[in-house]
Amino acid sequence: MVERDRPSGAVIYVRVSTEEQAAGPLNLENQEKRCRRYCEQNGFAVIQVFVDPGKSARSTDRPQFQEMLAFCKKHRHEVGYVVVQDLSRLARNNQHQAETINQLCLQGIRLCSTYESNIDETAAGKLAANMYGSINQYFSDSLSEKMQDVTRASVIAGRFPWPAPIGYQNIPSSNGHSNIVPDETRAPFVRRAFELVASGLYSKAAVREMVTELGLRTRKGKKLSPQTFDAMLTKPVYCGWVAPPSMPDVRVKGLHEPLISEDLFNTVQRVLSGKKTIAAPKKKHNPNFPLKWFVKCGECGTPLTGAFVKGRSRKYPRYWCRNKSCRKVSLSKATLESEFLRLLRRLQPNRSTVSSFPRIAGKVWAKKQGDIEAETKRCTSKLEELRYLKSQLLRDKLRREISSADYQEENAKLVEEIAIVEQQLEGVSSNKASLDSFVRFAELMLANVATAWEKAKPEQRMRVQNLLFPGGIRYSGAGNFLNPSSSSLFNMLEEMSSEEGMLASPTGFEPVLPP
């Protein structure tokens, strides 16, 4: 009913949070009809209707809500009432509700609810409004906690419990299956965007223009804004991880198919942070200097370099230690390579027992193969254990059983341990690959490895060198080769064949081998 001295004009505010609500009985159309009927019954003249579709009432940062408040302030001499279907449409936060009612009251405007007719400016009316506000806030907070629990459980399971990012689409999911799959239309453009940014040849703006020209659009068919494009490039979901926005330090391996590799994603992050892409340093192998980088200084361990040094009348090929504070090794190419050949000739099998060499080689191969299998099993088991501990730690964090500080500290330790074991496993795999070439090497031994190395192509020379001495070999200023690795193939062959008298004792090779 219109009150004396209060304008009869009214504005209506309606709101829904989700598409489900928009399609249900609380849809915007039904809300507006009920509010208009209320105004008609009470003699209010509807001046304006403000509609906020898909906006949460947990915040007052709603476009039409703010427009409504501004309109009321500007037209306070015409507007006497703000009508909502119920207080939950106005706010889901008791403080926001009280502030809004007070703000309207200062303009001489009364808030009316079609469902809660007992809220007025009396003490009982204010108490009722506060009670309704508390109930609405409790409902919102309780629902939020339940949704957080559901979201947390989905993340732990490896699912992506939010609307699919650009390049993916949502699908129904059962236990153990992903709920997003690559969008065949947009996924190639997203992948291309990451590749172009990773190249470091284009700016983000240029890449966005390029993929837009190719056809990349949002689900609503619009071009990506700079903010949306920037956010896309930083989402780990594209390389197979699920990361809750509220917990940036937490990542779970997702069930979905990655659009890009993790290496590509990390490269893009380095580019975005302003760091140049770091490529592994390439060792240039000059065919004129086959022992460059392979032979190291016996004094400081620095790999020798090799080049043609300018003399008085011509250039001379030399090897020398690159360490300026050392330079204890410096000699001609001919001297170093002839010394290396002399060393290889000492690996030549004894003629009287050459027919037994394949058996010796087989024993070496079998022993090393057994060691590799045992080490592979040990590393794999350790890696599985560490990854399990890491996943359990993450579950404890998501279930709030440990603090963020404790999680970060323990997670950092596990990440470091996992990296160490992965390196060990990679080294074992590398040794296995070398052993796969062992049979070919055994045949080479029978044909005289020194002569074979001397006549081989640069790539073949490197293969023989690295197979015999995986960690390289040292050369001292006194003119002796030093073998720092007790597990090199050279030492294994010597150890396994010493009983058979297969190899001539390479005296002069330090440490001196037994006869």
Can you give the C-alpha Rg of the chain in angstroms?
38
Nearest residue to 295 (alpha-carbon basis) of 462, 85, 112: 462
Residue whose token pair is 């989700």: 18
Q: Report how far residue 204's alpha carbon sits from residue 201's, in angstroms, rounded to the nearest whole number.
A: 10
Structural tokens at position 72: 């009321």
Q: Report how far residue 138's alpha carbon sits from residue 141's, in angstroms, rounded to the nearest whole number.
A: 5
Structural tokens at position 418: 């996992």
**304 CB-side CA count, 13 A:** 30
Nearest residue to 93 (alpha-carbon basis) of 123, 65, 124, 51: 65
Structural tokens at position 75: 């037209």
Q: Report how far residue 37's alpha carbon sits from residue 10's, in angstroms, rounded to the nearest whole number.
A: 12
The secondary structure of 322-346 as a DSSP string is --TTT---EEEHHHHHHHHHHHHHT
Local structure of residue 349 (DSSP, 8 states) = B
Inter-residue contact 239 to 261 (CB < 8 Å): yes
Handedness of CA 55, 58, 59, 64 (dihedral sign): positive
Across the beta sheet with 304-310, what order do the strands follow? Answer: 304-310, 315-321, 330-332
Q: For 482-509, b where at least 16 C-beta lie within 10 A, e where not — what string?
A: ebeeeebbbbbbbebbeeeebbeebeeb
Whether 142 is a known active-site residue: answer no
Q: Report how far residue 229's alpha carbon sits from residue 238's, in angstroms, rounded to the nearest whole number.
A: 13
- Exactly one of 17, 140, 154, 497 is catalytic; name it: 17
Q: Report how far residue 65's alpha carbon sits from residue 11's, in angstroms, rounded to the nearest whole number.
A: 11
Q: Report how far residue 238's alpha carbon sits from residue 288's, in angstroms, rounded to the nearest whole number.
A: 46
Structural tokens at position 147: 């949704």
Q: For 257-292, b where at least 16 C-beta lie within 10 A, e where not — what string?
A: ebbbeeebbebbeebeeeeeeeeeeeeeeeeebbbb
φ/ψ region of 301 (left if φ > 0, alpha if ψ in -120 to 50, else beta) reads left
Active site amino acids: 17
